[in-house]
C-alpha cells in the first residue's frame, strides 16, 4: 500500500505536456518554506479549513493507483504529457512507486525528488523514470541542516549518481530570500552542477508567499527561517555565465 495526499490532473508545471501529478505522503526534510506541510508526515492527517475538515492522505494498492493513471493514459499521451511522482518525497515510498510504474501502460514518467534517500532507492526510481526533477536548495551542509532539518550529503551523493545514469534531469532551485537565493549559494550550485552529464537546464522557483496559510489547517507550526515578505534575488546570469541553460518558473508549482 502507498499513501497519497493528492492526485492533480491537467498539471502543466510538473513536466512536459499535460500531466497527472501524484503527491505522495512523507518527506525526510522539513524545509521551513515548504508549501505542502500536509506532505511531510507519512500518515493521513486531518486538515481543518474554512470549508470544514478533510483527510489528507489516502491509501492505495499499486494496482488501484495504476488503474486510475492508466485510465488517463490516452489523454496524457495525446498531450505529450505523462505522470509525475511528487510529494512529499517519492523516495519515502520507493517500493510502492516502483510497483505502480511497472503497472503503467507506456506513460512518460517524471520523478520530482529532493534527492534525499538511499542510493539504492534513488537508483531504482530514477532508473524507472524518463526525466528527473532534482531539487537543490543549499550547498553548505550546515545551512542545509538549519533550514531543512537534515544535512545535504545524501542529496549531493545521489546527484553524482544521477549524472552517471544517462538520464535527462532538471535542477530546480527554490529561491528563498537570503537563504537559497544569495549569489554565494547560487554560484556554489552552478559550480556543483556545471559539468554533470544529463543536465538539461536549471529552473529557478521564487518561493510561494502563500505557504504560511496551509500550516494552520494542517496543525503544523509555521516557523520560517527567512523573512517572508522580502523580494527574492533572481540572478540568472550566475548560471548563464557558467554555460548553463536557466529559466524562471512561476509559483504555480506545488513542490519545492
Residue 20 or residue 36: which is nearer to ligand SF4 going by CB?
36
The DSSP result for 105-159, as a single string, is: SS-EEEEEE---S-HHHHHHHHHT-SEEEEE---SSHHHHHHHHSS-SHHHHHHH
Asked if 40 touches ligand SF4 (CB under 6 A), the answer is yes
Q: How far is the CB of 230 from ligand SF4 (least distance, A)?
A: 18
Q: Which stretch binds ligand SF4 (CB under 6 A): 86-94, 150-158, 210-218, 245-253?
A: 86-94
Q: How far is the CB of 22 from ligand SF4 (least distance, A)?
A: 14
Contact 106, 77 (CB under 8 A): yes
Q: How far apart are CA 81 and CA 75, in angstroms?
A: 8
Of 134, 146, 76, which Cα lies nearest the Cα of 104?
A: 76
Residue 30 or residue 163: which is nearer to ligand SF4 going by CB?
30
Q: Which stretch binds ligand SF4 (CB under 6 A): 77-85, 87-95, 210-218, 243-251?
A: 87-95
Q: How far is the CB of 77 from ligand SF4 (least distance, A)?
A: 28
* Burial grade of 173 (CB within 10 A; 0-12, 13-18, 19 or more): buried
Asked if 25 touches ligand SF4 (CB under 6 A), the answer is no
> Which residues are 60's β-sheet partners?
2
Question: Vertex 24, ends 18 and 29: CA angle to 5°?
Answer: 115
Asked if 22 touches ligand SF4 (CB under 6 A), the answer is no
Asked if 114 touches ligand SF4 (CB under 6 A), the answer is yes
Which 129-158 residues touch ligand SF4, going by CB under 6 A? Answer: 148
Site residues for ligand SF4 per CB under 6 A: 27, 29-31, 34, 36, 39-40, 87-89, 114, 148, 255-256
Amino acid at each position: 500500500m502507498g499513501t497519497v495526499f493528492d492526485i492533480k490532473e491537467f498539471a502543466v508545471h510538473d513536466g512536459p505536456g499535460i500531466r497527472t501529478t501524484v503527491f505522495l505522503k512523507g518527506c525526510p526534510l522539513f524545509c521551513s518554506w515548504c508549501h505542502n506541510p500536509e506532505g511531510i508526515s507519512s500518515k493521513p492527517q486531518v486538515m481543518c479549513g474554512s470549508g470544514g475538515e478533510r483527510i489528507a492522505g489516502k491509501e492505495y494498492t499499486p494496482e488501484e493507483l495504476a488503474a486510475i493513471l492508466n485510465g488517463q493514459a490516452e489523454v496524457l499521451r495525446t498531450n505529450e504529457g505523462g505522470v509525475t511522482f511528487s510529494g512529499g518525497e517519492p523516495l519515502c515510498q520507493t517500493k510502492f512507486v516502483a510497483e505502480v510504474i511497472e503497472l503503467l501502460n507506456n506513460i512518460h514518467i517524471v520523478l520530482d525528488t529532493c534527492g534525499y534517500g538511499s542510493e539504492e532507492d534513488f537508483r531504482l526510481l530514477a532508473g524507472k523514470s524518463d526525466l528527473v526533477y532534482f531539487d537543490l536548495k543549499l550547498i553548505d551542509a550546515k545551512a542545509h541542516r538549519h533550514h531543512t532539518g537534515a544535512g545535504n550529503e545524501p542529496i549531493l551523493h545521489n546527484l553524482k549518481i544521477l549524472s552517471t545514469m544517462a538520464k535527462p534531469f532538471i535542477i530546480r532551485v527554490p529561491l528563498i530570500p537570503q537563504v537559497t537565493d544569495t549569489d554565494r549559494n547560487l554560484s556554489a550550485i552552478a559550480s556543483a552542477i556545471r559539468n554533470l552529464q544529463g543536465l538539461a537546464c536549471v529552473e529557478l522557483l521564487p518561493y510561494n508567499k502563500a505557504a504560511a496559510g496551509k500550516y494552520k489547517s494542517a496543525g503544523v507550526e509555521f516557523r520560517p527561517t527567512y523573512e517572508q515578505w522580502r523580494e527574492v534575488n533572481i540572478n540568472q546570469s550566475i548560471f548563464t555565465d557558467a554555460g548553463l541553460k536557466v529559466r524562471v518558473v512561476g509559483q504555480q508549482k506545488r513542490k519545492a
